[in-house]
Amino acid sequence: MSSELQNGEEMQLEPELSQALGHFKASVHGWSNEVWSNEVWSRTMESRSRAVRPARRRVWRLAVACSLALLMAVGAASGLLYERRQQQVLATMQHEQLLQQQQQMTQQRQQAEEDLLAKVESDISREVPSAMEPLAQLMTTGGTETASANQ
């Protein structure tokens, strides 16, 4: 059936195809006419309602602007609050660190003093007997000599 397109200008289509194409054409024409008349009608309505639109648009714009301004204000306020809170936390942490350092330094100092004292004590306890030893010997030898002299 497609050969009629290659060989001649006239198209001989089988009845069913011809009928389907006819219905298709009628359908598209009907659809187009309906949409077209609706478009024309809606355009007329649109031009009538055009005067009302700007006022509505203005109200919408105002509402959107107010909402945005409110959002921005809330955002800025919460940003400031957050910043302040962060600073407070930081200051507390720094203060705690300082206290810890001071404590550590005090402990270290105490430890050093204790160490020194212990060293002095050990030095004294070790030095005295050795220093006293010649004296003790002397005393021992002196005592013996005196006893023998007395004898």
Partner 1 sequence: MAAGTTVESMTSATAEGMAAEEFARVADGHRVRIFRFLLASTRDAEMAETLTQETFLKAHRNWSRFRGESSAMTWLMRIAINLQKDHWRNRRLQFWRQTQSNAVDVNEASDWLPSNQASQEQALLAREQVGHVWRAVEGLSERQRTVFLLRFVEEMELSEIAATTGLSEGTVKAHLSRALARVRAELRGKR
Rule CB under 8 A: which residues touch partner 1? 1-2, 5-6, 9, 13, 16-17, 19-21, 23-36, 39
Minimum distance from CB of 45 to partner 1 (Å)? 15
- Tokens 């714009």: give the residue: 61
Q: Which is nearer to partner 1, 4 or 96 (CB)?
A: 4
d(CA 27, CA 21): 10
Minimum distance from CB of 1 to partner 1 (Å)? 7
d(CA 42, CA 47): 9
d(CA 2, CA 107): 107
Q: Which is nearer to partner 1, 36 or 82 (CB)?
A: 36
Minimum distance from CB of 9 to partner 1 (Å)? 7
Q: What count of residues does the chain have?
A: 151
